[in-house]
A = this chain, B = another copy of it.
């Protein structure tokens, strides 16, 4: 028979939860999420949505933890706004805003262990924040002073990947290595909806399924790949793609920080128990431009944006806190101060970043010196030395 169902096989036998549509409904009228159910624990109005399967995964989230999550969300949004401002002021060359995707990033990143490892794209600055990336390091790439800002091994996160989808294979390789090493650490690959069309991402699913690699494929479906709507990449929900590769998947309300935490924890748990990869589709929305160079007025319907504005990931935590009486002045002030202080640190760090020393151009191409390149370096040093001011600046006109 022609089939559109994927039948589970013995290879990856799993409990099939006979789940009611409890968590769904709210988003069903929306074309972006039509025809499918989203895991949700926290509704846009700040009420908790009961979900017997996923509730247990966040039962440790007490008042303190909730406030901490709120602070994260506020801080990363503040940092995003600050970086956008820095770009507008000419201090950064470019910035890819994450506005709207805070919950997807914070929720998933905050449940990782130190020894887990993140392979992300360029937009995961909130993930980087949660991993402990220094705020100055975070903007180096965007200021153009370095091709990457931090030491991946110090924070358990690779530096931003610009080639769409390439990092999913790296995560898979890391995960295969983790198994070889006998650890239960997990690799997490972050990528977008557009990335799912790339061969690399599909090959990562093939390899990770074959090797039962402990990797979580965390897809932020923010509805756009620059100007292209997700419907151009896929005619079915992205989460539907994984099961055919033998990878269980889950579709979560990506603007619900609790639900994101829950599904990510479940995926991590599967991976740690040796059950292999999981695919998470976090359904969210890119509220800003693709990058500061983009002009979304050319392709975004403002009405759509409005619909999503009502699902704001930060606001719903704020409402929950209000409902539960946790949002007193003290908290509000502390959170605001944390955000402002982070923004100040990022700004100061950014402004302090200067162009690297010219001859550093030749550093770190190879681990061991190359005769050929050493010659070029010394010739360029001689060239720079011709100029009186010694630092070679007068000589520099390559970009004109």
A248: CB under 8 A from chain B? yes
Among B12, B14, B236, contact of A244 (Cβ-Cβ < 8 Å)? B236
Besides A3-B243, A206-B234, A243-B244, 11 more A-B contacts (Cβ < 8 Å) are: A2-B266, A4-B16, A4-B248, A6-B244, A8-B236, A9-B35, A11-B235, A11-B236, A202-B202, A206-B233, A210-B233
Q: Do residues A240 and B7 form an inter-chain contact, with CB atoms below 8 A?
A: yes
* A-B pairs with beta carbons under 8 Å apart, 8 shown: A1-B19, A5-B6, A6-B6, A9-B35, A11-B235, A197-B206, A209-B235, A234-B246
CB distance from A103 to the nearest CB of B (A): 20
Q: Tell me the chain A residues, 169-221 only, with Cβ under 8 Å from chain B.
A: 196-200, 202-203, 206, 209-210
Complex CA gap A240/B12 in Å reads 13
Complex CA gap A19/B243 in Å reads 22
Among B1, B2, B236, B243, contact of A4 (Cβ-Cβ < 8 Å)? B243
A134: CB under 8 A from chain B? no
A249: CB under 8 A from chain B? yes
Number of interface residues of A (CB under 8 A): 52
Shortest Cβ-Cβ A-B pairs, 3 listed: A199-B199, A202-B202, A235-B246
Q: Tell me the chain A residues, 1-38 only, with Cβ under 8 Å from chain B.
A: 1-12, 14, 16-17, 19, 34-37
CB distance from A269 to the nearest CB of B (A): 11
CB distance from A41 to the nearest CB of B (A): 13
A290: CB under 8 A from chain B? no
- What is the copy number of this chain in the assembly? 2
Complex CA gap A278/B1 in Å reads 12
Q: Do residues A5 and B3 form an inter-chain contact, with CB atoms below 8 A?
A: no
Q: Do residues A5 and B2 form an inter-chain contact, with CB atoms below 8 A?
A: no
Known: A197-B203, A209-B234, A236-B12. A3 touches B244 (CB 8 A): no
A283: CB under 8 A from chain B? no
CB distance from A230 to the nearest CB of B (A): 11
Complex CA gap A113/B260 in Å reads 51
Complex CA gap A372/B14 in Å reads 63
Q: Do residues B2 and A14 form an inter-chain contact, with CB atoms below 8 A?
A: yes
A245: CB under 8 A from chain B? yes
Interface centre among A6, A17, A197, A232 (most CB of B within 10 A): A6
A160: CB under 8 A from chain B? no
Nearest residue, chain B, Cβ from A263: B2
A98: CB under 8 A from chain B? no
Contacts of A2 in B (CB 8 A): 14, 17, 248-250, 266, 278
Nearest residue, chain B, Cβ from A270: B2
CB distance from A176 to the nearest CB of B (A): 14
Q: Do residues A241 and B244 form an inter-chain contact, with CB atoms below 8 A?
A: yes
CB distance from A228 to the nearest CB of B (A): 10
CB distance from A78 to the nearest CB of B (A): 34
Nearest residue, chain B, Cβ from A210: B232
A76: CB under 8 A from chain B? no
Contacts of A235 in B (CB 8 A): 9, 11-12, 209-210, 245-246
